[in-house]
């Protein structure tokens, strides 16, 4: 019999990790999340036996889902009413379960401490994928990576491992999907950063205290200011994985993407970027789509978004 936290506890802990995850880890706090793939709210042990037990029908194509800041893998799930023996019942659905049923991908859902530096999470994810492939019950031919918000930056960091030799999983990656990922930085974090600096500049103990409180936000949050995750400041830009195709899915808060509110706020947290700035020369209009009226969190569990992911997964 295994023990697991109720959903609201998982959500609260993920939110805490997003805001103060580096502090929790530094203090050795039991609330700090260790990176792992999760199945049914339980961490997956990366042994052949455990993987075979959790995934009895593991196939040679896998897809990896990486959630965003302060979220957990539950962000990918939604309920749908299904007819079952003449009765309508609610079933849990996700992009992963649909990709498995329709295209044969075995889904792996990552949970991690989103308050840690993005580059660190990327490096840990790379190690985790290496361990997964080493213990996977069959040979993996193809890996699809899907990241929501900060998750997309974590994927870019994972794909940007500079150590030699490069991890073996990298050459298997065929497609990377970025859902509402702030490649050029998140405006909200830029605003908080500017506010904290201003408050510190005012020679008043109260404003300085408020500035100090703002500065307690995690390094993961602070990294969102710049967007592209750099482990080493000497590297001028994060290279896009050359053997994979990159897809950009973004949302807007209004039905009309040209509406001033959508231009200003994007999907409420991330703005639709300008082509060249967003994608650092890998931009291809046919690999990008804006979902009008779909807000930031909804990008991770939306039928229309899934249909587009599926269509791109089927394309050559």
Partner 1 sequence: MNEEKKMRIPIQQLRGAKDLLEDVVTATVNASESLQQKIVRQPYALLQRIDVIAVPVRKIESVQTTITQKIYGTIRLVTRGSAGLASRLLDLAERNARRRK
Q: Can you tell me which of 29, 127, 168, 315 binds partner 1, judged by CB under 8 A? A: 29
Of 25-33, 113-121, 142-150, 264-272, the segment contacting partner 1 by CB under 8 A is 25-33
Distance separating alpha carbons of residues 291 and 256, to the nearest angstrom: 10
Neighbours of 12 (CB within 10 A): 15
Q: Spell out the residues 6+ positions from residue 58 whose beta carbon is closer than 8 angstroms to its own.
A: 51, 52, 106, 136, 137, 138
Span near partner 1 by CB under 8 A; candidates 30-38, 107-115, 243-251, 255-263: 30-38
Q: How far is the CB of 212 from partner 1 (least distance, A)?
A: 7
Q: Which stretch binds partner 1 (CB under 8 A): 21-29, 86-94, 144-152, 157-165?
A: 21-29
Should residue 4 be labelled a site residue for partner 1 when binding is judged by CB under 8 A?
yes
- Do strands 173-179 and 142-148 pair parallel, antiparallel, or not at all (unpaired)? parallel
Residue closer to partner 1 by CB (options 206, 258) is 206
CB 23 within 8 A of CB 113: no
> Which span sits near partner 1 by CB under 8 A: 35-43, 44-52, 93-101, 284-292?
35-43
Nearest-5° angle of CA 191, CA 195, CA 201? 150
- Number of chain residues interacting with partner 1 (CB under 8 A): 24
Query: What residues contact 47, with CB distance under 8 A and at least 6 apart?
Result: 135
Q: What is the CA radius of gyration of the chain?
A: 20
Name which position in 25, 32, 51, 144 contacts partner 1 (CB under 8 A).
Answer: 32
* DSSP annotation of 60: S
Site string for partner 1, 184-223 (x = CB under 8 A): ---------------------xx--x--x-----------
Distance CA 128, CA 136 (A): 12
Determine the distance from the C-alpha atom of residue 46 to the mean position of all C-alpha atoms in its chain, rounded to a whole number.
Answer: 21
CB within 8 A of 298, min separation 6: which ones? 251
* 38-67 footprint of partner 1 as x/- string (CB under 8 A): -xxx-----------xx-------------
Binding residues (CB under 8 A) for partner 1: these are 1-6, 9, 13, 16, 24, 27, 29-32, 39-41, 53-54, 205-206, 209, 212
């Amino acid at each position: 019999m295994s023990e697991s936290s109720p959903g609201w506890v998982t959500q609260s802990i993920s939110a805490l990790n997003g805001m103060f995850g580096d502090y929790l880890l530094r203090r050795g706090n039991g609330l700090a999340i260790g990176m792992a793939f999760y199945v049914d709210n339980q961490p997956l042990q990366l042994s052949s036996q455990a993987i075979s037990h959790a995934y009895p029908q593991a196939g040679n194509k896998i897809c990896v889902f990486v959630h965003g800041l302060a979220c957990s893998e539950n962000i990918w799930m939604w309920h749908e009413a299904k007819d079952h023996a003449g009765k309508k019942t609610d079933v849990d659905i996700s992009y992963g379960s649909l990709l498995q049923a329709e295209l044969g991908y075995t889904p792996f859902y990552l949970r991690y401490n989103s308050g840690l530096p993005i580059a660190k999470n990327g490096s840990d994810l790379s190690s985790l994928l290496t361990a997964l492939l080493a213990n996977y019950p069959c040979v993996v031919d193809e890996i699809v990576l899907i990241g929501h918000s900060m998750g997309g930056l974590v994927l870019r960091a994972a794909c940007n491992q500079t150590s030699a030799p490069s991890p073996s999983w990298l050459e298997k990656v065929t497609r990377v999907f970025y859902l509402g990922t702030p490649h050029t930085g998140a405006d909200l974090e830029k605003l908080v950063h500017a506010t904290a600096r201003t408050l510190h500049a005012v020679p008043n103990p109260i404003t300085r205290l408020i500035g100090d409180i703002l500065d307690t936000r995690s390094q993961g949050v602070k990294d969102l200011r710049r967007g592209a995750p750099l482990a080493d400041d000497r590297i001028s830009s994060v290279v896009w994985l050359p053997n994979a195709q990159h897809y950009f899915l973004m949302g807007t808060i209004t039905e009309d993407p040209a509406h001033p509110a959508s231009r200003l706020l994007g999907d409420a947290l991330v703005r639709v970027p300008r082509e060249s700035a967003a994608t650092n020369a890998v931009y291809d209009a046919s690999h990008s789509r804006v979902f009008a009226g779909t807000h930031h969190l909804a990008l991770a569990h939306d039928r229309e978004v899934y249909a587009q992911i599926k269509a791109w997964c089927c394309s050559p």
